[in-house]
Chains A and B, each alone.
Chain A
């Protein structure tokens, strides 16, 4: 029975990380209407920034996380200003290719500075909690708690503040948002900043139980794509629910079916679901 609960904890951990990454992706999709393939690179840069702050500058884990979130947020704003903004009237295929360009560039830059070795990010939370045989590492607990807090704060920001409401308004209807005098540039930059910061925080949270390397974003971003398709592109609750679905499917599939193929589960699930419902699980109508 304990093993079963252990898998629930693993599923929650994975689901929290995937949910945070997918949340940023889905927010940007709401503004850009194009999936940002560079999001995984932002996640990877986030992990490397934290590594840089902690190992090279020797600052504390929390400060490194905040610093990394700030750097990646600025990087995301730069992407918006320099790349996606000039492309706003181009056919969607151009945004996708440009995003791939950013992804390749960031990966190559990181690889130039840090090489392609696998690195470990240490965390101050190395302890293990033992609840009557159920073992929970502190870092995993931290991930779950942090994800819930972040989602709550983001939800409050989007629902209760004026600035947050402009993001929702823009995602619902671009023209409508313009009509009531919302500054599209400001909203777009803010959305990119939030999405970049979320990716950096998720990466910093997850790095201590995983490894840091230039290709670390590939799998996570592809799973985040799977999640936002499952949850409906642009939907915030969808991103969180989808993240949990994939997290649990991986934790249980990896344990009960096969560890070697656990990464295929998410993609196999997507192929199955899209074959049956081309518009995704929660989307209201076909797009």
Chain B
């Protein structure tokens, strides 16, 4: 049901308007810094789309996502700065490394359910952070990696400049969203949702839980790796702090504010919050005083975020009586599910 509504919201017109705005944004921006902020918001949005696959669609709270982002960034950084690779081969390598590591972590961690999985991935994220911080021979430890290569341009396009890089990131973002859209409408995406809604039921329908969850996990870590590699190419200097758990929490906030398990949610949430934090500079350090309670209020009152709320509102407009009944039913279902779980 969500996706019929999703496509309603994502009418070609709305999609094109958003894309057009993104394309002309560098000309509307008053200075280069704004373009830079937007580009970094897009990079984070790609990572949040990855988190949306495993957490939003598949229902597994992955707390190692920031760790995989850092692995992508470090793979690119170390290959270009220390091994002398150029950007694009290193970029491909970053995708491969995060996918392979995601597969390895996935086959171990996805045997665990619910909070066991969340705690396990929390530990994995922390191990990644500690390894980056302590394994100085490989990662330079707390000093970080400098002199990371930027992607080489062609003709007059020079990706070390902000605006060309912005378009590069935009292209990747469009690709990421397009892929997500295809995924969410495919049988595979519906399989993920079936797993989220109840894995025993999904299994009884003949869905191979492990294979699908691992696939979702690998896709999500690859997204994180792609975002991390782009991030490294953009800032050209990275340190162990990229693997800090706080980035994972940031991404969860973006996802939840935008709308978990929706197609436009990650983009709206990320771009919105990044700009709010940017415009209220004093928030930078204490942003969590606002975003912490915001997370709580959102999960209590608007668990599906901006997009979810908008969809509900559209749905209300479309049919005025039916949805209320439907929502009541779904509420009863979740209550029962919770009780079943508590009894288990």
Contact = CB atoms under 8 A, between A and B. Distances in A.
Interface stretch (A42-50, A92-100, A146-154, A247-255): A92-100
A101 B286 contact: no
Interface residues of A, number: 51
A102 B341 contact: no
B341 A92 contact: yes
B19 interface: no
Contacts of B118: 35, 96
Contacts of B338: 88-92
Contacts of B296: 82-83, 98, 101-102, 105
B275 interface: no
Interface stretch (A8-16, A120-128, A203-211, A218-226): A218-226
A33 B111 CA distance: 19
A278 B127 CA distance: 19
Interface string B93-117: 0000000000000001101111110
B122 A112 contact: no
A49 B123 CA distance: 28
Given A90-B334, A108-B292, A267-B123, A83 B252 contact: no
The interface centre, meaning the residue of B109, B285, B299, B341 with most chain A CB atoms within 10 A of its CB, is B299
Contact of A287 (B113, B123, B130, B252): B113
B343 interface: yes
Contacts of B339: 174-175
Interface in A264-287: 264, 267-268, 270-271, 274-275, 278, 280, 287
Interface residues of B, number: 50
Contacts of A101: 291-296, 299
Nearest to B294: A101
B123 A226 contact: yes
B198 to A, nearest CB: 11
Interface string A96-121: 11101111111111011000000000
Interface in A219-236: 222, 225-226, 229, 233
B303 interface: yes
B85 interface: no
Contact of B116 (A87, A104, A106, A278): A278
Contacts of B122: 222, 225
Given A33-B341, A96-B115, A86 B300 contact: yes
A66 B288 CA distance: 29
A267 B61 CA distance: 18
A287 B331 contact: no
B127 A108 contact: no
A104 B123 contact: no
A105 B61 contact: no
A225 B334 contact: no
B299 A274 contact: no
B211 interface: no
A2 to B, nearest CB: 29
A136 interface: no
A112 B289 contact: yes
Contacts of B57: none
A180 interface: no
A104 B299 contact: no
A74 B4 CA distance: 46
Nearest to B285: A111
A97 B115 contact: no
A118 B344 CA distance: 44
A225 B59 contact: no
Interface of A: 33-35, 82-83, 86-94, 96-98, 100-109, 111-112, 173-175, 218, 222, 225-226, 229, 233, 260-261, 263-264, 267-268, 270-271, 274-275, 278, 280, 287
Across chains A and B, which 7 residue pairs bring their CB atoms closest together, nearest first? A105-B292, A101-B295, A108-B288, A104-B288, A104-B292, A267-B123, A101-B296
19 contacts: A89-B338, A91-B59, A91-B334, A93-B55, A93-B61, A97-B61, A97-B252, A108-B286, A108-B287, A174-B339, A175-B343, A229-B120, A268-B127, A270-B120, A270-B123, A271-B127, A275-B108, A278-B116, A287-B116
Interface of B: 55, 59, 61, 108-109, 111-116, 118-120, 122-124, 126-127, 130-131, 134, 245, 249, 252, 256, 285-289, 291-296, 299-300, 303, 331, 334-335, 337-339, 341-344
Given A98-B300, A105-B289, A261-B134, 20 more contacts: A89-B338, A92-B338, A92-B341, A93-B59, A94-B299, A96-B61, A97-B295, A97-B299, A101-B296, A104-B292, A104-B295, A108-B287, A111-B286, A225-B122, A226-B123, A268-B127, A271-B108, A274-B111, A278-B116, A287-B113
